[in-house]
Amino acid sequence: MRLANPTMLASGILGLSAESLGNIVKGGAGAIVTKSVGLKPRKGYSNPTIVQTSCGLINAVGLPNPGINEFVKEIREAKNFNVPLIVSVYGFSAEEYAKVAKKAVDAGADAVELNVSCPHVRETGSEIGQNPEVLAEVVRKVKASVPKPVLVKLSPNVTDMVEIAEVATEAGADALTAINTVKAIAIDPETAMPILSNKIGGLSGTAIKPIAIRCVYEIYEHVKVPIIGCGGITNWQDAVEFILAGATAIQIGTAIAQKGPSVFKAVTRGINAYLKRKGFKSVNEIVGLSHRN
Ligand SMILES: Cc1cc2nc3c(=O)[nH]c(=O)nc-3n(C[C@H](O)[C@H](O)[C@H](O)COP(=O)(O)O)c2cc1C
């Protein structure tokens, strides 16, 4: 998959309609990733589902989505934008992941990203990504059912990221996305209760950037497939840090809330200026550069 620039939209932020994905393309993203879609429609959790903390957002939205049969309309429309379209999929079994992935690719997705890392919905997401045998089965079944690249999005909420990354690649993952949100909670002192209706959610934004970079750095030394860095990127310096750790592309989510879709153009411009200033010809020359002896 070739990208005009190394920036991509992260799943779950403005990714539920072709119209909002179009705004992200106008903002300069090199690829777009949809909100995670499942086999059946899901309402998600009741409010509050997102809480702003001093260092980032905690969300437990509960994977609201219209289901793949309805979502194919958006895929067909978003396919007309001139950037690769990656559909994020989830399921409650390996068969479900494979079915949703096939429908997404049949509708025109250029790749699928497996959400095996959502930290707040039972029996899917990170409950799959934290279990090596189940994860391998999901990746194998999806690979067998689609002829397009399969990205596996990893959870940081595991003891050993490297083990999980190796399981995913041995099962056939074409690329790894690292990371999804970090399990977190916020409690209101006045009510003395957790703020989110689901109580526990996932932290995103600048607070998780050093964790995400550590994950990319660790994985890079053990896998050969491309790694897409994600977590707390707000400017070009953050993006370059991820690339130096080993990422070939990066995803941006939470920062869009403060900076708007033009964050993609600003980050790309900054990366290009950095490469020029340092005498590099392409991003590939700096992927994993911080690992040299
Ligand atoms: C409101 C919200 C919804 C999200 N929904 C999804 C989702 O549906 N699927 C997924 O794989 N990740 C989802 N994520 C995680 C992001 O894609 C990303 O991995 C995470 O937020 C870290 O990147 P960031 O700090 O740039 O936001 C969501 C994040 C937020 C804040």
Residues 214-245: tens digit of each pLDDT: 999 999 999 999 999 999 999 999 999 999 99
Choosing from 180, 196, 251, 252 the residue with most ligand 1 atoms within 8 A of its CB, the one to mutate for a pocket test is 180
Whether the CB-CB separation of 58 and 203 falls below 8 Å is answered with: yes
Torsion sign over Cα 20, 24, 30, 36 = negative
Query: Taking CA 245 as the corner, what is the angle to CA 243 and CA 250, rounded to the nearest 5 degrees?
Result: 35
Q: How do residues 190-215 score in pLDDT, each as one tens digit?
A: 999 999 999 999 999 999 999 999 99
194 lines ligand 1 (CB under 6 A): no
The reply to whether ligand 1 has any atom less than 6 angstroms from the CB of 21 is no
Tell me the domains of the chain and their CATH numbers.
7-43+62-186+205-291 (3.20.20.70)
Tokens describing residue 167? 């399981």
Residue 293 pLDDT grade (very low, low, confident, very high; cuts 50, 70, 90)? confident
Q: Compute the distance between CA of residue 228 and CA of residue 107 in angstroms, rounded to an integer.
A: 24
Is any ligand 1 atom within 6 A of the Cβ of residue 12? yes
Q: List pLDDT tens digits, range 88-102.
A: 999 999 999 999 999
Alpha helix segments (H runs only) across the chain: 18-26, 68-78, 94-106, 126-129, 132-145, 161-170, 209-220, 236-245, 255-259, 263-278
Residue range 107-129, pLDDT digits in tens: 999 999 999 999 999 999 999 99
**Whole-model pTM over 0.85:** yes
Atom index in ligand 1 nearest the CA of residue 232 equals 25
